[in-house]
Amino acid sequence: MRKICAQIFVTNVPSFYKLNLYNEINKKQRVLAVFTDDGDPTRNADFYKGSAEFESVSLGGRPFLSKAAALLKIIFFCEYKMLVLGGWNSALQWICAFASPRRKNALALESSIFESTVKGWRGFLKRIFLSRVSKVFASGKMHKKLLDALEYRGEVAITKGVGIYNIVDTPPFAPKSEIRNFVYVGRFIPCKNLENLVEAFKKFPDCTLTMVGYGELEAKLRAAAPKNVKFVGAVENARLPDYYRQNDVFILPSFSETWGVVVEEALNNGLPVIISENVGCNGEAVEDGVNGAVFKFSDKDPIAGAIRRIREPEFYNKISQNIRKTDFREIAGRQADCYLV
């Protein structure tokens, strides 16, 4: 008997925000999710923690040919309306793209114009992959720009997210006369622009920067950091709201960032944010002067300039109030509804 479902999602790992997204979609239509890999050891273990209220298949730990055979069996023996592929960087995704009819194929695009090349053989391969999908679920405007650069002519839906984070009740507004406590949450890797972030806080000895996370740059960052920069190591997702709410501003100064789920988490916890122009949720989850400050790399002293701007109490309190007007659960629901077929 053929298995019937509205959508099959093929993605690499069961991250918590993907689980939440599929759960929300599954409330309105039947979802089957196929996870092709095990978790990334550079992530916190609870990055993959969550309940799956939808049908799922895990292929992690299997040899490649076994994974490919399992995917082909699902495609050939399931009755589905849409196959949503999780990217173009995996041979398994390519196999699915050519095994399933183009009219049924879709792509969940998290890559943006900032970190993706559109030229040479890599751009050529991306165009071939896109020729096999009839619809793209693009996370935001910067992701749509990538599709435009690759001359994609199929249907595009802007989802305004890469998944659904663990939404909490936003704390009530409380005006502040001093803005001194900043927090970063994420991995310590080169694309996050953390060396410049730590350097910037040498100019603000009356402020503190709390660094939550770990990664390859940790020793270098610790050696360069002034006394007002604190490192707290890895923190479980369930405890992150405490760190957000103990601070005044969240900052993500990345050279490139496909989206920025941590930015959404910070906003949901009531924190105004500073992000670079190259963070994927710029113009979607974050609007400059509305709920945060967005700096350009062409600005003079960009990180320090954004810090000075957001420390102005009038500006800070205005955007902090705006955050309280946001219905985060409604936004999550709209993201899930984008996928309905």
pLDDT one-digit tens code per residue, 88-124: 999 999 999 999 999 999 999 999 999 999 999 999 9
The token pair that represents 13 in the structure block:
């790992």
pTM score: 0.94
The pLDDT of residue 41 is: 67
Q: What is each CA distance from 302 to 203, 219, 280, in whole angstroms?
A: 13, 25, 18
The pLDDT of residue 137 is: 99
Sign of torsion over alpha carbons 93, 95, 100, 105: positive
Between residues 47 and 327, the one the model is more confident about: 327
Query: What's the rounded mean pLDDT across residues 128-132?
Result: 99
SS3 state of residue 100: coil
In this predicted structure, the answer to whether residue 1 has a pLDDT above a threshold of 60 is no
Cβ proximity of 126 and 70 under 8 Å: no
Per-residue 3-state assignment (H helix, E strand, C coil) for 138-201: ECCHHHHHHHHHCCCCCEEEECCCCCCCCCCCCCCCCCCCCCCEEEEECCCCHHHCHHHHHHHH
The pLDDT of residue 317 is: 99
The pLDDT of residue 212 is: 98
The pLDDT of residue 143 is: 97
The pLDDT of residue 71 is: 98
**Mean pLDDT over the full length of the chain:** 96
Element holding 82 (H helix, E strand): strand 78-85
Q: What percent of the chain has pLDDT over 90?
A: 94
In this predicted structure, the answer to whether residue 229 has a pLDDT above a threshold of 70 is yes
d(CA 112, CA 278): 9
Q: Where are the domains of the chain?
A: 3-165+329-337, 181-325
pLDDT digits (tens, 9 = 90+) for 284-327: 999 999 999 999 999 989 999 999 999 999 999 999 999 999 99
Percent of the chain that is helix, strand, coil (3-state, to 5): 40, 20, 40
Q: The domain 3-165+329-337 belongs to what CATH superfamily?
A: Glycogen Phosphorylase B; (3.40.50.2000)
The token pair that represents 289 in the structure block:
């002067």
d(CA 257, CA 275): 10
CATH architecture of 181-325: 3-Layer(aba) Sandwich (3.40)
The pLDDT of residue 75 is: 97
Identical fold, 3-165+329-337 and 181-325: yes
Give the count of alpha carbons within 13 A of 330, CB side only: 3
Query: What's the rounded mean pLDDT across residues 177-194?
Result: 98
The pLDDT of residue 255 is: 97
Q: Binning pLDDT at 50, 70 and 90, where does residue 50 land?
A: confident
d(CA 315, CA 319): 6
Parallel, antiparallel or unpaired: strands 3-11 and 31-35:
parallel
